[in-house]
Structure 1
Amino acid sequence: MACRVASEANTSTVTISGRTKPKNIPHANMEFRPLDAMSTRQIKQYTDTFKSVQEQKLDLLIMTQGIMIIAGRTETPEGIDRKMALHYYGKQLLIRELMPTLKEDAKVIVVFDGLYGNPTKLNWEDLDLKTHFSLGRAANHCMFYAAQQQRHGTNRRHFVHAWPGAVKSNLLNELPWYLRSVAWAAGSLIAVSPDICAENLLNGASECAAAGKEEGRFWSNIDNKGHLVANKAIWSERQMKKVADHTWETVDGAMKHES
């Protein structure tokens, strides 16, 4: 997605971030800034630095960070499950802290699962799954980005939750060795290339933002073809507030946590 944006907007600067700098950065207008997006404290340091040196506002914020593990609840030094820290809490913190840098008509795209999330699938008494953890529940709970999405989408900025579908990426290499060959075999039949996935999601986000502006809607859930997901569950004000309160209590508490 970063490469596609960089090639189409060659007068703009595209910043990519992660734990490891790519060996090859293919476009001259791309720059790398290190970030461990599993750590709330590192995210806060990163965003504080970014805001202090960023001269121009951001048109686009894309978050694709993810991890493919089948282990049970495994906590970070800050006390959050690793999968949930990367898939949900860290993304919310990045959005909150980078909000002042976003243009009024910017787009925010979170790539995870904008297709299947539903408030009825949550354990409302254990939102961080301290006592009811399973891989399925963790995936469902990380999808409650949609609740925050509805809260954020109150002005011209458009928030998109995107389901990428099956993609031929290196993520499958994180699986245990005995599952990799099966996953790659299945992926070769149904998965698309990262470039096709990027095209679908970026085009879909742009089209949904344009349509949403006409409709007065500033958030969208899209599928792997970039199409708007119809009949998506709408979160009530009470549900959105509970998710938001829980999110910031967890995130802000994690930043104060002593490892």
Structure 2
Amino acid sequence: MNAAKSVLSKVDLTGKTALVVGGTAGIGQGIAIQLAQLNANVVLAGRNAKAAQDIIKGFPNSNSHSFEKVDFSLLKDTRRFANEVKQKYKHVDYLVITAGIMRMTGRQETEEGIDDKMAVHYYSRARLILDLIPAMKKGSRVLSVLAAAQGSLVTETDFDLKNSYSVYNASQACPLYNDLLVDKLSTLYPDVVFFHALPGMVKTNLIEGLPWYLRIPTKLMTPFATTIEDCGAYMCSGFLAPERSSGYYLLGPKGEVVEKLKVHTDELRDKVYQHTLDLID
């Protein structure tokens, strides 16, 4: 934690706008708390306005922070949300996406024909980033929090797992796709710095969505888990480090840079990105 505090002691985000999607609970809340302490104007985005208002009350200068509602499982609502953000806030200096679904059942398609878990963990992330790029200045930073360098390739013929879905397959595909996305976007938008992070085990309420036979052993591990406040500090130290000023980075639980997977090739990156554009458009 001392290393994270050392990095953050040199950071002042006064006058900067930080949008945290998923910031009304868990890891996103921890990151939002840290960003507010660094003097950013924080915009919390999610579905729970009451939770957001309670969190904002605890921020320094609470009047400079706000909440925006979004259903991140739907691309159309993500686009609406992005347009409203551009109109209301003019520019976004820091975009953080931590929204997640802890669900252990089979494929559940939204009205748009996308599995809701994959929409939240990948496709809506890509949609939001691309829609907000015009509102980002040189030096803006994007952080997607899921499971950097932890995924694997399930199939190259069914990227959205329409015919090969399982909870395990989704848990492998989405982290890899996020790795590939930040890589590809860094080549297309060199003025913006992109990050994908693995937060590790964190004390959040997401475990309540697990079946009992997984919830009980997971709860037994919580004494060893990181608090959301400490996780927020680690994640912020990782993606706000001044020396990480161009390209893309994959981050571990302490904000350290980790190596990409062997399957992470330029060829696969471009294939997944083209698939992504075809689906989200």
Q: Give the TM-score range, shorter chain.
A: 0.7 to 0.9
Letter in 1 for 2:211: P
Q: How does 1:18-57 map to 2 (within 5 A)?
A: 18-21=46-49, 22=51, 23-24=53-54, 25=56, 26-27=58-59, 28=62, 29-55=64-90, 57=91
Letter in 1 for 2:234: N
Q: How far 1:115 sits from its partner (Å)?
A: 2.8
Q: How far 1:177 sits from its partner (Å)?
A: 4.4
Please give the alpha-carbon distance, in whole angstroms, between the structure 2 residues aligned to 1:31 and 1:61. Answer: 15
1:7 aligns with 2:41: no
Greater shift, 219-228 or 175-184, is seen at: 175-184
Please give the alpha-carbon distance, in whole angstroms, between the structure 2 residues aligned to 1:231 and 1:179. Answer: 29
Aligned to 1:246: 275
* Aligned residue-pair number: 241
Change (3 A) 1:115 1:187: farther
SS of residue paired to 1:211: coil
Please give the alpha-carbon distance, in whole angstroms, between the structure 2 residues aligned to 1:241 and 1:231. Answer: 16
Q: Where has structure 1 moved over 2 Å in runs of 4 or more?
A: 176-182, 210-213, 230-238
Whether the 8 Å contact between 2:250 and 2:260 is mirrored in structure 1 is: no
Greater shift, 29-38 or 147-156, is seen at: 147-156
Letter in 2 for 1:81: D
Q: How far 1:179 sits from its partner (Å)?
A: 3.6
Identity of aligned residues (%): 29
Change (3 A) 1:241 1:103: same
Change (3 A) 1:201 1:233: farther
- Out of 125, 131, 135, the position equivalent to 1:91 is 125
Aligned to 2:173: 141
- Out of 104, 115, 131, the position equivalent to 2:163 is 131
Q: How far 1:98 sits from its partner (Å)?
A: 0.6
Please give the alpha-carbon distance, in whole angstroms, between the structure 2 residues aligned to 1:7 and 1:212. Answer: 21
Please list every run of 5 or more consecutive structure 1 residues that lacks an aligned counterpart in the other structure: 253-259
Change (3 A) 1:162 1:179: same
SS of residue paired to 1:156: coil
Q: Given the two structures, how large is their TM-score scaled by the length of structure 2?
A: 0.81
Aligned to 1:163: 198
Q: Given the two structures, how large is their TM-score scaled by the length of structure 1?
A: 0.87
Please give the alpha-carbon distance, in whole angstroms, between the structure 2 residues aligned to 1:76 and 1:246. Answer: 18
Greater shift, 43-52 or 85-94, is seen at: 43-52
